[in-house]
Amino acid sequence: MGERALGRDVVSRHRFARFFSIGDRRNPNSWTPGLILSEEDQDLPLSFAPFSLSRNTEFLPAKSVISTRSNLCFPFDSLDRWEMDEGLILPPSLVESDSGEFGDGIELLPISWNSLHHDERITAIDFQPSMVVLTDSPQLANLPGMLERALLTIRTKFPASLVWTPGIAGPDNCALLSWMGVDVFDLSRSRHASSLGVLLTGTGPRHPEETSGEDSSMKSQCEYWMHAISQTRAAIRNGSLRELAERSSTSSPRSVEHLRWHDRLSCEISNDLGILPISENIGGKLRCYSFESRNDPVVKDWRTRVAEKHMPPEHQRNVMVLLPCSAKKPYKLSQSHSRFRRSLRSPFVHEVMVTAPLGLVPRELEEIWPAAHYDIPVTGDWDSDELDSIRYMVSRLVERVGYSSIVNHSGVDFEIEGIEVVDTRAGETAGSKSALSRLQNEVEIALENTGLIEFPERPRMMTLKSISRFLLDSDSWLDGSEIRGRPPILTIFSNGVQIAKWNPRRGMFSFSKSSLELLDELGVLKRIVLNDEVSWSGDIFPSYIDSFDPMIRAGEELLVFQKSRLVGSARSVAPGWEWPHGPGKLAKAKHRL
């Protein structure tokens, strides 16, 4: 009897992290992130430790067997065993030699740095193993960027597989490794700490505190492990794993290095694999509490798109007003911005908020993610890195848009070559009466110099077009349409038929069934194609997919085709790198034609 595949489904996603349920999806009895127990480890609850490991080193290469501790493989009628030959692994530094002996396995697939580069069987695999083991994880973890490159490759090649990095995990880096795509951990570091009389905790190793009755026994070590796993699962579920990974990474300089390498490499591939979502946990927060938050690929993507791509509404391309941010999001709901807007009183002014870590947030984009959902400590102090980023973004925006006047009420000093920047704060608080009076006067002078007096035609439509260009890279679908209704929700009609709504609570457009053919004709939305034999009656799963756009981002709407015909639309719940083999549902059905 051959090896059987693990039953797995996704409870929740957060970037590369996955909260998997394993076993029968109707009644799962274990989950990951979780532990794998060796023969010398104490018994732990099945909900935390779904697997056990035995290893035979009598012969070379060594052989490993992983057993399920419950009926986790379809049809869920017995325990299962997966075997692998570990291979004879050369050090990663000898990768150019193309020698050694590669590991081998089916449901338990061993991969090393050398096999990633030279084993052609890996690229030829057309199924998703139950578990992928990065066998030389300890060596890779000590070499700059190598662990991160290996994990990104494995995670995107095998999105439905559980990933295990033997020998490097602990309660102190559980959240960080999960953020990088690891699902399964072992107790080897905790066993080593216990043998030295050290307690491996969520904040790193330390000696037990005798006055508190602590000890370094494996029972104590496992208590910290179960707490760390519970924290990590909860963080994946509620979208706060990034914050937890940043916090836990401060337990060691090496962990900080891993987080920075992961951010850097994720940015490099984000334009090819749809890594960055349209939104994350609508109603949740992008928590930016540390220096590392500004390296989050979502933050860097926002900075790049605002500085290098975004164009404001057509009627607001002459006068830029730089304003401070507010703790309340969206900014327009705050008392301070209500006062600013009473002083401005002109639809021709392009309001741009100066903030960290996003840099700049144009007023028309303040309701979309992450601008409407980030949270940061407000101290009024700026460091040199933040100032350099903000000044660069302002200079690029001015260069591309071609403003004729800049009124600066932000409190940050700017010098733009070829254009005067008028400071209306003069060292005072932004909300003081004299500062607001100067703001109003300088804006009126700037508008008089531009000759913009009459109320602009269709300002709301021009604002929606600007938002559409930012989100969808196109505003052509709005040509000839009209807006009805009162803010915050705006309804868009074309030839008397409703085609979409702008919903600021979601920070995105919701398209109606009647708009799908127009969106297809104009190439506005990405496409997926279903297999001809599929009878599409619900959400979209991996077995349905014939072809897809690899740049699909989680949260965006997709056009669904079958037999060369547009048949409906769906909203992606999985990023492009999971398609078509990701576990569970890939997209949620929305409209059927």
Q: Is the pLDDT of residue 133 over 90?
A: yes
How many CA atoms does the CB half-sphere of 492 hold within 13 Å?
A: 26
Specify whether the CB–CB gap between 528 and 542 falls below 8 A.
no
Specify whether the CB–CB gap between 348 and 316 falls below 8 A.
yes
Give the domain-ending residue among 238, 270, 302.
270
CA-nearest of 184, 203, 205 to 82 is 184
Q: Tens digits of per-residue pLDDT, 78-117?
A: 999 999 999 888 888 888 877 778 889 999 999 999 999 9
The parent domain of residue 379 ranges over 310-450
Give the domain-ending residue among 270, 286, 319.
270
* Pair (486, 440) in one structural domain: no
* Pair (419, 480) in one structural domain: no
In a domain, 64, yes or no: yes
Whole-number pLDDT of residue 291: 85
In a domain, 284, yes or no: no
Whole-number pLDDT of residue 450: 83
Q: Is the pLDDT of residue 67 over 70?
A: yes
* Pair (181, 55) in one structural domain: yes
* Pair (76, 150) in one structural domain: yes
Whole-number pLDDT of residue 98: 75
Share of the chain above pLDDT 70, in %: 98
* Separation of alpha carbons 122 and 92, rounded Å: 17
Specify whether the CB–CB gap between 371 and 360 falls below 8 A.
no
* Pair (46, 149) in one structural domain: yes
452 or 23, higher pLDDT: 23
- Residue 470's SS3 state is helix
- Per-residue pLDDT band for 453 (boundaries 50, 70, 90) equals low
Whole-number pLDDT of residue 201: 97
Q: Tens digits of per-residue pLDDT, 145-169?
A: 999 999 999 999 999 999 999 999 9
Longest dimension (CA), the chain: 87
Count of structural domains within the chain: 3
* Residues belonging to the chain: 593
Share of the chain above pLDDT 90, in %: 81
In a domain, 72, yes or no: yes
In a domain, 410, yes or no: yes
Query: Mean pLDDT, the chain, as a whole number?
Result: 93
* Pair (151, 85) in one structural domain: yes
* Pair (202, 86) in one structural domain: yes
Whole-number pLDDT of residue 486: 83
Specify whether the CB–CB gap between 413 and 426 falls below 8 A.
no
- DSSP assigned state of 352: E
* Separation of alpha carbons 507 and 468, rounded Å: 11
In terms of phi and psi (left: phi > 0; alpha: psi -120 to 50; beta: otherwise), the region of 345 is left
* Separation of alpha carbons 532 and 543, rounded Å: 11
Q: Is the pLDDT of residue 525 over 80?
A: yes
Whole-number pLDDT of residue 456: 72
- DSSP assigned state of 479: T
* Separation of alpha carbons 170 and 374, rounded Å: 30
In a domain, 372, yes or no: yes
Q: Tens digits of per-residue pLDDT, 154-211?
A: 999 999 999 999 999 999 999 999 999 999 999 999 999 999 999 999 999 999 999 9
* Separation of alpha carbons 206 and 187, rounded Å: 17
As given in the structure block, the two tokens for residue 467 are: 């938002």
In terms of phi and psi (left: phi > 0; alpha: psi -120 to 50; beta: otherwise), the region of 260 is alpha
Q: Is the pLDDT of residue 285 over 90?
A: no
In a domain, 422, yes or no: yes
In a domain, 283, yes or no: no
The DSSP annotation for 194-233 comes to HHTT-EEETTEEE---GGGT----HHHHHHHHHHHHHHHH
* Pair (409, 489) in one structural domain: no
User: For residue 368, which amino acid is it?
Assistant: I
- Per-residue pLDDT band for 284 (boundaries 50, 70, 90) equals low
Q: Tens digits of per-residue pLDDT, 222-263?
A: 999 999 999 999 999 999 999 999 999 999 999 999 999 999
Q: What is the CATH number of the domain that holds 552?
A: 3.10.400.20
Residue 240 makes CB contacts below 8 A (sequence gap 6+) with 284, 285, 287
Q: Is the pLDDT of residue 277 over 60?
A: yes
* Separation of alpha carbons 249 and 268, rounded Å: 22
* Pair (244, 345) in one structural domain: no
Q: Tens digits of per-residue pLDDT, 15-64?
A: 999 999 999 999 999 999 999 999 999 999 999 999 999 998 888 888 99
Q: What is the CATH number of the domain that holds 360?
A: 3.40.50.10630
pTM score: 0.93
- Per-residue pLDDT band for 274 (boundaries 50, 70, 90) equals confident
Peptide bond into 488 cis (omega under 30): yes
Whole-number pLDDT of residue 280: 67
The DSSP annotation for 410-455 comes to SSS---BTTB-EEES-TTS-TTSHHHHHHHHHHHHHHHHHHT--SP
Residue 269 makes CB contacts below 8 A (sequence gap 6+) with 152, 156, 275
* CA angle at 458 for the pair 456 and 459, rounded to the nearest 5°: 65
* Pair (64, 119) in one structural domain: yes
123 or 21, higher pLDDT: 21
Whole-number pLDDT of residue 272: 77
CA-nearest of 339, 333, 371, 374 to 352 is 371
Q: Is the pLDDT of residue 269 over 90?
A: no
Radius of gyration of the chain (CA): 27
Give the domain-ending residue among 404, 427, 450.
450
* Pair (233, 331) in one structural domain: no
In a domain, 588, yes or no: yes
- Per-residue pLDDT band for 569 (boundaries 50, 70, 90) equals very high
* Pair (230, 113) in one structural domain: yes
Q: Is the pLDDT of residue 283 over 60?
A: no
* Separation of alpha carbons 505 and 412, rounded Å: 30
Q: Is the pLDDT of residue 547 over 90?
A: yes
